[in-house]
Structure 1
Amino acid sequence: MSSVVSRIAAAPSQQALAHFQNLLQFETDCWDVHFAISNNRQDFVLVDVRSELLFEQSHIEKAVNIPHKRLTQENLIGYPAETLFVVYCAGPHCNGTEKAAIKLAELGRPVKKMIGGITGWIDEGLSLLGTAHA
């Protein structure tokens, strides 16, 4: 008797390998971002794509705030074309990262999503800056 988990067979190993390697081209996680920031290895711009008000209330250290609606060529003029942008929003219930990633990709900019957003950051036990968490 099979479960709902195994009822559809897993992909062949080579297909699974390609799939999961491809995911890492598009995503990173909270712990890897934290490790890079904490060890002076931040070779990306961490962008909080939430509103200015939410950013002021709490955000990740070393993040810049560019709400996804303001991601334009003009607002990115100070960043070299090869700059990797890592975007985050409130969490898995928010699609602000996808909206931001689409805009950045349309502008020809390298982009990754930090999965989990603020919710994931807190779940990892990491601290935030701002008035709500001061």
Structure 2
Amino acid sequence: MSNNVTAVPAAPSDLAREHFAAEFRFETDCWDVHDALARDPGFVLLDVRSPALFEKGHVPGAVNMPHGKIIRSKMANWPEDTLFVTYCAGPHCNGAARGALRLAELGRPVKIMAGGITGWLDEGFELATGSEDPG
């Protein structure tokens, strides 16, 4: 019996492997970010939401830089090879992708933290409040 799931066959395993392996070059998840932040993370976590939303709650250690403010002069504060990880409200928001695109257009290495604030909270992690950020 055909349905929308089975109507189109799955990709061959070699193509599926390439596709899913490539996803890790573009994104990471909340659990891995949380784990890395407890050590020397090796990246800058950018909260690309508004300052007001950042103050209400953000990932501890994140730098607030709304995606529209990501410009070459502001990024000069970090070495060219700095990896950035962007996040926004969650899967219903495309701010993280907008920020990642701006960074990529500036030639900066970037990934998205899949799930954003929603995913962070779903994992049971705490948020920090206030406007202080390390950036």
Q: TM-score range by the shorter chain?
A: over 0.9
Letter in 2 for 1:8: V
Partner of 1:8: 8
Unaligned runs of 5+ in 2: 131-135
CA shift for structure 1 position 4: 2.5
CA shift for structure 1 position 7: 1.8
CA shift for structure 1 position 78: 1.1
Report the Cα distance in structure 1 between the residues aligned to 2:2 and 2:69, rounded to whole angstroms: 49
RMSD value over aligned CA atoms? 1.0
TM-score by length of 1: 0.94
Letter in 2 for 1:30: C
The answer on 1:61 being equivalent to 2:60 is yes
TM-score by length of 2: 0.93
Report the Cα distance in structure 1 between the residues aligned to 2:4 and 2:76, rounded to whole angstroms: 50
Letter in 1 for 2:42: D
Partner of 1:76: 75
Partner of 2:34: 34
State the aligned residue count. Answer: 130
The answer on 1:118 being equivalent to 2:108 is no
Unaligned runs of 5+ in 1: none
SS where residue 91 of structure 1 aligns?
coil
Question: For 1:46-84, what per-residue CA distance to the aligned partner results, in whole angstroms no more than 9, with x for missing partners?
Answer: 000000111111000110001101101111111000000
- Determine what percentage of the aligned residue pairs are the same residue: 55
Question: 1:102-117 residue pairs with structure 2 within 5 A?
Answer: 102-117=101-116
Question: Structure 1 residue runs of 4+, over 4 Å off?
Answer: none
SS where residue 9 of structure 1 aligns?
coil
